[in-house]
Amino acid sequence: MDITFHTLPNGIRLVHYPTASEVAHCGVIINAGSRDEQPGEHGVAHFIEHMLFKGTTHRKSYHILSRLEDVGGELNAYTTKEETAIHASFLKEHYSRAMELLADLLFSSTFPPSEIEKEKEVVMEEINSYLDTPAEYIFDEFEELVFPDQPIGRNILGTPGTVRTITAESIRSFISRNYSTSQMVFCSVGAISPRNIISLFEKYFSQAEPSDGMKRDRAEYRYSPVSVEKSKETWQNHCIIGNLAYDLHNSRRMGLFMLNNILGGQGMNSRLNLSLREKRGYAYNVESMYNPYTDTGLVTIYFGTDSRNLGKSIALVHSELDRLRRQPLGTLQLSRAKNQIKGYLAREYENHESLMLSLGKSLLIFDRIDMMDEIFRRIDAVTSTELAETAGIIFEKSSLSTLIYRQNGEKS
């Protein structure tokens, strides 16, 4: 990839990948998320994401929303436990408009008190919607069980009680501590020359005063396997089984990524999908996920099923985990697993919005961008023995935790 890099005197970095598409994408990724909240700040990182759209020294909320939408573009944002992103998609001729708007939101937001109070109601409705969706809520509750009383275990949205306490002062305090220019990356994918993208970057992002916030410290995690069942007013039983896993910097991360895909990744031919859904019809949705963080990680297996199939489904999950631990992949199985991962990654690179965010996150976390051939080389280097060893560690039955939401009135 013919990638352009540039760093401003204030420390903000740029990564740009040129395309010939009529549609361009750009954004800013900040190394700050919900795990960086101090006691009493639960939910403020996500609330800031909302408030960045609510007024600047130059624009009111309506003008922010209309700036790109008037020309067919889109403005969006998201918050995770470790990052916040503001990004835009637009026709290529509107690069200047998009970049000026992102800089305005990032550096000139005013957080009007009236908008804060109004947005609290919006976020509390978002929380209520999420609480009404057990297939989503169970993931956050599982992380709270796995990481008890630790910032990374808290959900991103906050609670109605903590959201009500948010003020302009608490918003500015979080930003002051965490939105340092040395921990920001501007990322771009689109049809613009390196000279022009650098010129616009310098024009709109040089205004920020330099701030050199350190990357977050690694934490020590206290983990003891737990098994919890709760009664819920649901149509299905919901179950999560999981364990701590490798962090973003662990050399075995690629192997675990492959194992997760074999087990319950996006393919319909994943082992769990074949076992629970295709062969037996026990579940509509069954999946596994691997979420690596800066200093830890989490592997989870989720499914929803009828009461009469819950026990059988759990037994099948453990059977598939046991098979990964005890039966190393053969040469053909390993080759298929590698080719599937390569195909997924190559397709993901064709999604230019996803590519833009991926480039920014890679530079932010690893201080580098790996070319596709380097990623494929690391995939090819994974051995069947390594996968079996990783499965033996991560999927060891005595190390797994389980959370079950049982239909109200059902007995275990």
What is the structure's pLDDT at 222? 84
Average pLDDT over residues 38-60: 96
Average pLDDT over residues 35-51: 96
Domain ranges of the chain: 4-205, 227-407
What is the structure's pLDDT at 136? 92
Average pLDDT over residues 44-64: 96
> Same fold for the domain at 4-205 and the one at 227-407?
yes
Q: What does pTM read for this prediction?
A: 0.94
What is the structure's pLDDT at 1? 62
Examine the pLDDT at 391 and tell me if it is beyond 70.
yes
Examine the pLDDT at 412 and tell me if it is beyond 60.
no
| Rounded Cα gap, residues 406 and 410, in angstroms | 6
CATH assignment, 4-205 = 3.30.830.10
pLDDT above 70 covers a percentage of the chain that reads 99
Identify the band that residue 216 occupies on the pLDDT scale cut at 50, 70 and 90. confident
227-407: which CATH topology? Cytochrome Bc1 Complex; Chain A, domain 1 (3.30.830)
Lowest model confidence (mean pLDDT) among 54-68, 217-231, 368-382: 217-231
Identify the band that residue 196 occupies on the pLDDT scale cut at 50, 70 and 90. very high
Amino acid (one-letter) located at 242:
G
What is the structure's pLDDT at 23? 98
What is the structure's pLDDT at 78? 98
Identify the band that residue 106 occupies on the pLDDT scale cut at 50, 70 and 90. very high
Examine the pLDDT at 292 and tell me if it is beyond 70.
yes
Q: What is the mean pLDDT of the chain?
A: 95
Average pLDDT over residues 278-307: 96
What is the structure's pLDDT at 411? 55
pLDDT above 90 covers a percentage of the chain that reads 91
